[in-house]
Amino acid sequence: MLTGFIALYIFMLAAFTGYEIIGRVPSILHTPLMSGSNFVHGIVVVGALFALLNATSVVEQVIGFLGVLLGAGNAAGGYVVTERMLEMFKPSDKKKG
Amino acid sequence: MNPSLIIDAAFLAAAFLFIYGLKRMSSPVTAASGIRVAGLGMLVAVLASFLYVFGVSEAARPHLTVNVILGAVALVLGLGWAWTSGKKVEMTAMPQMVALYNGMGGGAAAAIGAVELFRSSAEHSTIPLVVTIIGSLIGAISLSGSLIAWAKLDGRINGVWRVTGLQVINGTFFFATLALGLYIALVADGHAPVWMTAAFFVLALIFGVLMTMPIGGADMPVVISLYNAFTGLAVGFEGFVLGNPALMIAGMVVGSAGTLLTLLMAKAMNRSVSNVIFSNFGAAGDEQQGEIKGSMKPVDAGDAGINMRYASKVIIAPGYGLAVAQAQHKLFEFVKLIQEQGVEVKFAIHPVAGRMPGHMNVLLAEAGVPYDIIYDMEDINGEFKEADVAIVIGANDTVNPAARTNKSSPIYGMPILNVDQAKQVYVVKRGQGKGYSGVENELFFADNTNMVYGDAQKVMVQMIQAVKGLDGGGH
């Protein structure tokens, strides 16, 4: 288990990182970025998997199963949707036909 | 080699790939590769997490086979469903899909919290318990709230649901939920009866519904972005409880980036986030609309098209109506046609055009429109004065001059595209209805405005034919 202050350092630095990444983004990318960050928190599936593998009762197994199911949906759906959106951004010089 | 060392190294790599991927996604040139970089990080993390099987607790060892099977089945089902649904969703329906996937992430975070709280055998200390409760609360609100947002945007729930004193009810509900959660963490020390923990989650879910129901469809993008930030925070908190730095970093990066994105979106609509959540947009000002002078002057689509062919500069202001009519492709065909005649064409995008900031850019990109002739509002608003023709397609509130002048208008103060300053304005519109906010539009009655009535796609086809007929006849 991480000690309290190390955790706070991680949270603080991560928060700054997120702020800096989004800070200077042109608004045309807001939707893809929202979708992209939606994908990134799909990492929750890993935590859900950990909870499920350590489950000791049926209640824990059921909830853990749901958690993995939902988390996997978040990660996979977020990826597909973001990739489809970003695929479309093309500059003039690559104009087809 | 020690499995936990591999897991730690994989998570470190994943955290790096997420941040680097998001950074690449923040520029149009590198964006497409950014999502692949982040995707690689996810793949590494998920594969490595199967090594958890070597480190499960003594108590869970007898259940391991069942748990591994359950985990694999859940992964395959979740992945398979989301992959196929994400592949086939229409670009216009993208916002609600993002809401749906986001709610699932919130639900997963709440599920982690629930497993921790239901594990009666475990020894709990105070700080992780409080963090578990808060993470679960935020995650559950994000789950039910996102589902409501999805249903509203998808047209499954229509209208706005309001009762008097709702804010008092919501406030009471929220503090009751929070109090119950803190009781479980601080007084019961994590050994609360099962019904109490279950009640906590049910209350949190209901609060998410109550919080989202009164918010109108036009404000939903801000709400989805807010829930996206919520899910990030919930994931970060549950990551702390599990002692998993990858979850902490990814969750908190999204939490802060999502919060900033929410503020930017609200700012683009000239409203504060609290205003979006606690007030009822469009409820006031309906009665007191002044009389608008002038009349709407219809014009033939072909004439409008020919006029643009002989213009030197045309600015296009597209709105959600364009996408609904699936007219982007025909529009771009028309644009290429008049570009060949030497007409300078630019697209002007209002920050909230479409259903999310940047949504219209995605829809235009889908039709193949290059992003370097697409301009943000602040970059192009000064150019309308020089434009011979401004054409508004399927947009309404974002070009309504009442936002500048009429203080009693509910959209007063929202920045708008200055299309009314162009020499000639064409408005392509299905009928004489009002916009999403229900406000009458003065622009349609202005002297330099002509209305082109009809389905946007058919109108574009007529314009293309008129211009083609012109040039064909000349030779």
Under the banding of pLDDT at 50, 70 and 90, the label for residue A52 is: very high
Share of chain A above pLDDT 70, in %: 88
Q: What predicted TM-score, i.e. pTM, was given to this entire model?
A: 0.81
What is the pLDDT at residue B205? Answer: 96
Reading the block at residue B193, the tokens are 């009866």
Q: Per-residue pLDDT for B357 more than 80?
A: no
What is the pLDDT at residue B288? Answer: 43
Q: Where are the beta strands (DSSP E) in B286-343?
A: 313-318
Q: Per-residue pLDDT for B475 more than 50?
A: no
Say yes or no for a CB contact (<8 Å) between A48 and B111.
Answer: yes
> Chain B partners of A57 at a C-beta cutoff of 8 Å?
118-119
> Chain A partners of B12 at a C-beta cutoff of 8 Å?
none
Q: Per-residue pLDDT for A95 more than 60?
A: no
Paired with B451 in beta bridges are B298, B427
Alpha-carbon torsion, ordered B59, B60, B62, B66, to 10 deg:
160
Shortest CB distance from B28 goes to which of A10, A28, A78?
A: A28
Identify whether B397 is a catalytic site residue.
yes
Q: Where are the beta strands (DSSP E) in B6-148?
A: none
Quote the CA–CA distance of A54 and B163 in Å, as a whole number: 44
Under the banding of pLDDT at 50, 70 and 90, the label for residue B355 is: low
**CA closest to B374 among chain A residues:** A28
CB atoms within 10 A of CB B343: 18
What is the pLDDT at residue B123? Answer: 65
> Chain B partners of A77 at a C-beta cutoff of 8 Å?
82-83, 85-86, 97, 100-101, 104
Shortest CB distance from B67 goes to which of A4, A55, A63?
A: A55
> Chain A partners of B117 at a C-beta cutoff of 8 Å?
none
What is the pLDDT at residue A91? Answer: 60
> Chain B partners of A59 at a C-beta cutoff of 8 Å?
118, 194
* Tens digits of residue pLDDT in B124-136: 688 889 999 999 9
Which phi and psi (to 5°) does residue B344 adopt? -85, 120
Say yes or no for a CB contact (<8 Å) between A90 and B370.
Answer: yes
Under the banding of pLDDT at 50, 70 and 90, the label for residue A92 is: low
What is the pLDDT at residue B81? Answer: 96
Reading the block at residue B5, the tokens are 């060392």
Q: Per-residue pLDDT for B268 more than 90?
A: no
- Compute CA distances B172 → B58, B179, B207, whole Å: 42, 10, 10
Question: Coil, helix or strand for B358?
Answer: coil
- Compute CA distances B51 → A48, B56, B245, whole Å: 14, 10, 16
Q: Per-residue pLDDT for B262 more than 70?
A: yes
> Chain A partners of B323 at a C-beta cutoff of 8 Å?
none
The type of residue at B414 is M
Closest CA to B399 of B306, B294, B315, B297: B315
Between A62-71, B92-101, B384-393, B411-420, the lowest mean confidence (pLDDT) is in B411-420
Under the banding of pLDDT at 50, 70 and 90, the label for residue B292 is: low
Between B62-76, B207-221, B385-399, the lowest mean confidence (pLDDT) is in B207-221
* Tens digits of residue pLDDT in B10-66: 999 999 999 999 999 888 888 889 999 999 999 999 999 989 888 888 888 888 999
Quote the CA–CA distance of B89 and B223 in Å, as a whole number: 21
What is the pLDDT at residue A96? Answer: 40
Residues present in chain B in total: 475
Question: Coil, helix or strand for A94?
Answer: helix
Say yes or no for a CB contact (<8 Å) between A73 and B79.
Answer: yes
| A49, A58, A60, A66: best to mutate for the B interface, most B CBs within 10 A | A49
Q: Report the gap between the CA of B26 and the closest CA in chain A (Å).
A: 6
Between B104-108, B170-174, B199-203, B244-248, the lowest mean confidence (pLDDT) is in B170-174
Exposure string (b/e) for B4-23, b if CB count within 10 Å is 16 or more?
Answer: eeebeebbebbbebbbbbbb
Under the banding of pLDDT at 50, 70 and 90, the label for residue B4 is: confident
What is the pLDDT at residue B371? Answer: 83
Q: Report the gap between the CA of A57 and the closest CA in chain B (Å).
A: 8
What is the pLDDT at residue B221? Answer: 81
Give me the catalytic one of B397, B420, B455, B471: B397
Q: Per-residue pLDDT for A37 more than 90?
A: yes
Higher confidence at residue B71 or residue B429? B71
Q: Per-residue pLDDT for B286 more than 80?
A: no
What is the pLDDT at residue B174? Answer: 92
Closest CA to B304 of B314, B296, B289: B314
What is the pLDDT at residue B257? Answer: 92
Q: Is B163 left (phi over 0), alpha (psi -120 to 50) or beta?
A: beta
Say yes or no for a CB contact (<8 Å) between A68 and B231.
Answer: no
Under the banding of pLDDT at 50, 70 and 90, the label for residue B162 is: low
CA count, 13 A, side-chain hemisphere, A16: 5
Quote the CA–CA distance of B300 and B171 in Å, as a whole number: 54
- Give me the mean pLDDT over the B198-216 stretch: 91
What is the pLDDT at residue A5? Answer: 86
Higher confidence at residue B257 or residue B396? B257
Shortest CB distance from B232 goes to which of A31, A41, A68?
A: A41
Terminal-residue alpha carbon distance, chain B: 78
What is the pLDDT at residue A26? Answer: 74
Shortest CB distance from B98 goes to which of A10, A34, A89?
A: A34
Quote the CA–CA distance of B173 and B120 in Å, as a whole number: 27
* DSSP code string of B218-275: GGHHHHHHHHHHHHHHHHHHHHHHHT-HHHHHHHHHHHHHHHHHHHHHHHHTT--HHH
Using the structure block, give the residue that is written with the tokens 């190294």.
B9
CB atoms within 10 A of CB B132: 26
- Give me the mean pLDDT over the B234-244 stretch: 94
Shortest CB distance from B358 goes to which of A28, A67, A78?
A: A28
Under the banding of pLDDT at 50, 70 and 90, the label for residue B470 is: confident
Say yes or no for a CB contact (<8 Å) between A26 and B349.
Answer: no
